[in-house]
């Protein structure tokens, strides 16, 4: 199968999904209102709450949710064949991720930009809030720890990527200051930033930077661990400064990288006429994880991911300028992830191997497929770039820069979100130092994943990436299902049709619960007595939350207000009143804002 045919078909389906289905969601399900005053305007503090152009915000939102996950998951999942992987990416993006990401953003904006955990408390009940926050805390800790390990490995394997990635930071700060002070459009400065970034690839290739000597002198067994420490020092600083200083301009630069990477992949497969070498459905070895339910757990970002609801309701909702922008930022962000995941499938099936036999050597079993996923994407994308006459060494650094840029942005946002969650937990437990002290909350947000990332394991991957990461997929998808529960209750209470939310909700909770049960059995049989109790705890929390959500949903069906007007553009008085619950009694400090607690 020619790879470009697959890319073209997927592109058309994504266009139709955004053009028609997201429009339906905006009018009939979320009823976006151009006149609604968003929290970015109501609580504008110049730090977390900042009204932002929708294109800039899309850059932040997309690169924050993207990370390495929409690359890694699909590059692993082609182990079952490219057909099922691609089908889940397309259907998941259009009918699940778009609904989930868009909905989390829309509901959060209607509730003072509160996080999805806080919304669970308001929409379902207080117990749900605490349970949800516990799951989110675990998920963010895993994400931040593992992404630090992934970036550290990429720096070690691709020393030519160090200079462009490091110098992107002052470059983004300069661009952010220029845009903020001149109030000019971000488009031209950010394009210049991308050009400078790619020019730095030439410098990086000429002067690769390795920390092997320094790490050895400092007594590190692995150079990666030194990079991990440096990364968390950076995120401790980056997550405390105003979003417009670094987060927004760097994310906007990185959003251009998405289109460039997709362009390179698209043009590369056309010029090179690459053929997909993997089977449509792979006859996997006996003992491999089953297609159902693990395909839907392995591909999270790129189909649907609970982490997106944390970003949508954490940082993106605080920057939304106009409520209708939620459709572009939320749904289009999901489409961007789906597109990147499609590129990952093509790189891992058409770019990385010249024949089916070569591909089979890269994917002999699930463990090998998992361990080689990032490398397969980098090599496959580099081959596509090489089709465009870009030297292979530069093409490899380019692919590494793309992956590191996305992963670093996700980690940056992840630490900021973890700080929000710790502050919320501090409020619930009435621990003032956690709720009010930015330094303490940020330090805890950094220290725990840093410690986990440095724990040695039996393999080179380390304990967190090599062992605990097995719980990421189920925890992430469980978070998505629970976020959909909150959205479904919210939509139902407003008398709107919740079917668009309920279908992915039921499917996702079923797949996740199934996977948790299978994993629990496997962990017990393998005598993995750290993973088994953790899996059991997550399963119990999930069942508890599902029951709470089901009760709330049943009540919501009885309380639903009359349907919204046909045009869907205006909220009923009842729903508006519901949206404004607490407005008179709680300011932005009732949610995880950070700046107001300095």
CB-based burial label for 358 (10 Å; 0-12, 13-18, 19+) = exposed
Task: Give the Cα separation of 466 and 284 in Å (integer).
Answer: 22
Task: Give the Cα separation of 342 and 350 in Å (integer).
Answer: 12
At 143, list the tokens: 């994400």
DSSP collapsed to 3 states, 474-513: HHHHHHHHHHHHHHHHHHHHCCCCCHHHHHHHHHHHHHHH
pLDDT for 135 equals 85
Residues (pLDDT < 70) of the chain are: 459-461, 466, 560-598
pLDDT in tens, 407-426: 888 888 889 889 988 998 89
pLDDT for 210 equals 95
Task: Tell me the whole-structure pTM to 2 decimals.
Answer: 0.86
pLDDT for 560 equals 57
pLDDT in tens, 178-225: 888 887 787 888 889 999 999 999 999 999 999 999 999 999 989 999
pLDDT for 590 equals 37
Alpha helices (H) along 183-241:
187-206, 212-217, 223-238
Q: Is the peptide bond before 293 cis (omega within 30 degrees of 0)?
A: yes
Contact (CB, 8 A) for 67 and 301: yes
Task: Give the Cα separation of 308 and 301 in Å (integer).
Answer: 8
SS3 at position 28: helix
Task: Give the Cα separation of 177 and 10 in Å (integer).
Answer: 38
Task: Give the Cα separation of 343 and 363 in Å (integer).
Answer: 18
SS3 at position 575: helix
At 459, list the tokens: 């393999």
Identify which of 270, 276, 392 has the alpha carbon closest to the alpha carbon of residue 345.
276
Which residues face 2 on adjacent strands?
275
Whole-Å CA distances, 145 to 115, 225, 554: 21, 11, 38
């Amino acid at each position: 199968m020619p790879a470009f045919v697959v890319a073209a078909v997927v592109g058309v389906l994504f266009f139709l999904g955004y053009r028609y289905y997201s429009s339906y969601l905006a009018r009939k399900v979320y009823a976006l209102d151009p006149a609604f005053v968003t929290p970015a305007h109501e609580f504008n503090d110049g730090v977390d709450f900042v009204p932002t152009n929708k294109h800039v915000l899309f850059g932040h939102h997309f690169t924050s949710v993207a990370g390495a996950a929409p690359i890694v998951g699909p590059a692993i999942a082609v182990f079952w064949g490219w057909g099922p992987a691609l089908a889940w990416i397309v259907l998941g993006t259009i009918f699940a991720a778009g609904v989930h990401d868009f909905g989390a953003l829309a509901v959060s904006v209607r509730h003072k930009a509160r996080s999805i955990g806080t919304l669970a408390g308001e929409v379902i009940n207080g117990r749900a809030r605490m349970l949800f926050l516990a799951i989110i805390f675990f998920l963010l800790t895993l994400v931040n720890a593992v992404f630090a390990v992934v970036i550290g490995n990429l720096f070690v394997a691709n020393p030519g990527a160090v200079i462009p990635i490091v110098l992107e930071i002052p470059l983004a700060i300069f661009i952010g200051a220029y845009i903020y002070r001149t109030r000019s459009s971000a488009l031209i400065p950010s394009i210049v930033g991308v050009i400078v970034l790619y020019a730095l690839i030439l410098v990086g290739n000429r002067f690769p930077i390795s920390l092997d000597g320094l790490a050895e002198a400092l007594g590190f067994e692995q150079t990666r661990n030194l990079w991990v420490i440096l990364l968390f020092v950076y995120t401790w600083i980056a997550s405390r400064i105003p979003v417009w200083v670094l987060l927004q301009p760097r994310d906007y630069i990185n959003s251009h990288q998405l289109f460039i990477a997709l362009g390179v992949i698209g043009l590369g497969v056309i010029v090179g006429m690459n053929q997909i070498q993997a089977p449509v459905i792979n006859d996997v070895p006996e003992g491999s994880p089953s297609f159902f339910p693990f395909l839907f757990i392995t591909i999270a970002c790129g189909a649907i991911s609970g982490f997106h609801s944390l970003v949508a309701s954490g940082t993106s909702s605080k920057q939304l300028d106009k409520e209708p922008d939620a459709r572009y930022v939320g749904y289009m962000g999901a489409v961007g992830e789906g597109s990147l995941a499609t590129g990952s499938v093509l790189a891992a099936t058409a770019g990385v191997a010249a024949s089916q036999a070569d591909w089979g050597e890269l994917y002999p079993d699930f463990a090998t497929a998992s361990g080689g996923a990032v490398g397969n994407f980098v090599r496959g994308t580099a081959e596509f770039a090489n089709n465009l006459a870009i030297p292979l060494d530069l093409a490899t650094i380019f692919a590494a820069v793309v992956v590191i840029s996305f992963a670093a942005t996700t980690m940056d946002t992840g630490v900021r979100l973890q700080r929000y969650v710790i502050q919320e937990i501090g409020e619930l437990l009435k621990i003032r130092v956690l709720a009010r002290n930015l330094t303490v909350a940020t330090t805890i947000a950094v220290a725990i994943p840093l410690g986990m990332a440095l724990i040695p394991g039996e393999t080179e991957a380390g304990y967190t990436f090599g062992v605990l990461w097995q719980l990421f997929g189920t925890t992430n998808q469980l978070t998505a299902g629970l976020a959909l529960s909150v959205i479904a209750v919210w939509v139902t209470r407003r008398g709107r049709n919740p079917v668009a939310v309920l279908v992915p909700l039921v499917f996702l909770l079923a797949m996740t619960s199934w996977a948790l049960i299978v994993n629990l059995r496997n962990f017990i049989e393998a005598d993995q007595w750290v993973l088994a109790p953790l899996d059991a705890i997550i399963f119990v929390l999930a069942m508890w939350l599902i029951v709470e959500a089901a009760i709330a949903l049943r009540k919501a069906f009885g309380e639903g207000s009359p349907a919204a007007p046909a045009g869907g553009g205006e909220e009923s008085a009842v729903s508006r009143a519901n949206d404004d619950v607490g407005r008179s009694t709680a300011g932005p400090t009732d949610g995880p804002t950070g700046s107001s607690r300095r």
